A and B are shown apart, each in its own frame.
Chain A
């Protein structure tokens, strides 16, 4: 089957660093994306890893290890506005290509 697992909740303080992990099980894996969704808002694309290694975009970085079926999103210098849900997502192939999202990690940033 196809599945993604990520922690349901993470709590951190302003200015800290937090890592949100995502593990997946699939065949026909193409790459890993990350999305952010604020309460009442639409998901917005953050990053994508097709190859192993780290991708950096400002305060956010994303990592992928295909051999370990594992990735993470790293958020640095946390700000209150980073409080949101974060989803990892992959495209699985096999007949129909499907974009599968993890259940989401709710990040709460406190002063």
Chain B
């Protein structure tokens, strides 16, 4: 099976702009989660989508949003970018039937730089 894919891999944006990141889960996986990874804060959970609905969420401001499509692909949007949003954004998928899974399969990430 193909792994989790994320596009783009690298992105440079200017403060105040918005950005959309894309994630395609492993075939058959219905749960998609998003994480932000920074050297200072580590890996932080953003939200999880299952069957096109946000099922779980972390403690991020409303500027961070997401959605999931009927084919389980997911997008994450960050509006009004701030310098502190510079990070590696990781997407992870899991089969999803039993709630938020301990076993997540991660994609390679999108490296976002905000200038």
Residues of chain A whose beta carbon lies under 8 Å from any beta carbon of chain B: 30-31, 33, 35, 41-45, 48, 87, 89, 91, 96-104
- Inter-subunit contact A98/B107 (CB<8 Å): no
Bound Cα distance from A51 to B104, whole angstroms:
19
Number of interface residues, chain B, beta carbon within 8 A: 25
Chain A residues with Cβ under 8 A from B106's Cβ?
Answer: 42-44
Instruction: Closest A residue to B103 by CB, please name it.
Output: A45
Among B45, B102, B109, the residue within 8 A (CB) of A98 is: B45
Structural contact, A98 and B103, CB atoms closer than 8 A: no
B28: A residues at CB distance < 8 A: none
17 additional contacts, CB 8 Å, given A33-B102, A91-B102, A97-B56? A35-B104, A42-B107, A42-B109, A43-B92, A45-B102, A45-B104, A91-B100, A97-B55, A98-B56, A98-B57, A98-B100, A99-B48, A99-B104, A101-B35, A101-B44, A104-B42, A104-B43
The docked-state distance in angstroms from the alpha carbon of A45 to that of B48 is 17
Q: Which of A41, A43, A101 has the most CB of B within 10 A?
A: A43
What total of A-B pairs shows CB separation below 8 Å? 61
Using a CB–CB cutoff of 8 Å, the interface residues on chain B facing chain A are 4, 33, 35, 42-45, 48, 55-59, 90, 92, 99-100, 102-109
Contact between chains at A96 and B102 (CB < 8 Å): no
Query: Chain B residues with Cβ under 8 A from A91's Cβ?
Result: 100, 102
Residues of B within 8 A of A97 (CB): 48, 55-56, 99-100
Complex: A12 Cα to B102 Cα, angstroms = 28
Partner of A43, one of B55, B59, B90: B90
Residue contacts A-B, CB under 8 angstroms, 24 given: A30-B102, A31-B102, A33-B102, A42-B106, A42-B107, A42-B109, A43-B43, A43-B90, A45-B105, A87-B42, A89-B102, A96-B57, A96-B58, A97-B55, A97-B56, A97-B100, A98-B58, A98-B100, A99-B33, A99-B45, A99-B56, A101-B44, A103-B42, A104-B42
CA distance A111 to B35 in the complex (A): 34
Contact A100 B107 (CB under 8 A): no
Chain A proximity of B36: nearest CB distance (Å): 11
